[in-house]
């Protein structure tokens, strides 16, 4: 069970890498300027709150998608969002039952997106995934300079409980 949980957590990280890496490379040191309305740290710690259009745009900038790829990626991300919302609202599932299903959806989304990419884009995609699996591009160890989402909007559980 622990092994499955760790695998599921790693797969969740893959999805996070896509958006976090895109934001990190796209925004550089100007993180605060292009932050969505609300908290600037949302880009770093709450990217899962981005809508499919915002996620598709980040991927577009990161991978330089064609217009055809952009529309297909957007469809895939909208489908993922719909499936995830359906799972979250299914009160008959326990968290232990829901989590593997969510990981399956995320893996499927990643596989579908990768299949749309040309070989050069796939190399970039794979590098993004690799960085994510190594724990880079997420919370601590960001490597994009000081202050990237580590202010008052940072995850309270990591610093307040110590």
Q: How many residues does the chain have?
A: 162
Domain boundaries, the chain: 11-24+43-137
Integer Cα distance of 161 and 150 in angstroms: 15
**Of the candidates 108, 104, 26, the residue with the CA atom closest to the CA atom of residue 59:** 26
CA atoms within 13 A on the CB side of 154: 14
pLDDT score for 57:
92
Integer Cα distance of 149 and 139 in angstroms: 8
Q: Which whole-number Å values give the CA distances from 116 to 30, 77, 108, in the listed order?
A: 30, 13, 13
Q: pTM to 2 decimals?
A: 0.56
Do residues 10 and 134 touch, judged by C-beta distance below 8 A? no
Q: Is 72 exposed, middle or buried (0-12, 13-18, 19+ CB in 10 A)?
A: middle
Q: Which residues have CB under 8 Å from 109's CB, separation 6+? A: 15, 76, 77, 79, 80
Digitized pLDDT (tens) for each residue of the chain, 162 residues in all: 555 554 454 444 544 444 444 444 444 434 333 333 433 333 334 455 789 999 999 899 999 999 999 999 999 999 999 999 999 999 999 999 999 999 999 999 999 999 999 999 999 998 988 887 787 554 444 444 444 444 444 444 444 444
pLDDT score for 90:
92
């Amino acid at each position: 069970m622990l092994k499955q949980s760790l695998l599921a957590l790693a797969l969740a990280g893959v999805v996070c890498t896509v958006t976090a890496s895109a934001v990190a490379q796209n925004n550089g040191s100007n993180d605060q300027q292009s932050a969505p309305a609300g908290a600037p740290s949302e880009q770093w710690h709450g990217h899962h709150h981005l809508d499919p259009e915002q996620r598709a745009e980040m991927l577009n900038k990161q991978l330089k998608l064609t217009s055809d790829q952009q529309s297909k990626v957007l469809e895939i991300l909208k489908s993922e969002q719909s499936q995830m919302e359906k799972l979250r609202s299914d009160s008959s599932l326990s968290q232990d039952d829901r989590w593997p299903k969510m990981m399956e959806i995320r893996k499927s989304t990643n596989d579908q997106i990768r299949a749309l990419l040309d070989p050069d884009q796939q190399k970039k995609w794979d590098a993004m995934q690799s960085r994510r699996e190594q724990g880079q591009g997420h919370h601590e160890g960001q490597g994009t300079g000081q202050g990237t989402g580590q202010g008052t909007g940072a995850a309270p559980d990591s610093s307040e409980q110590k």
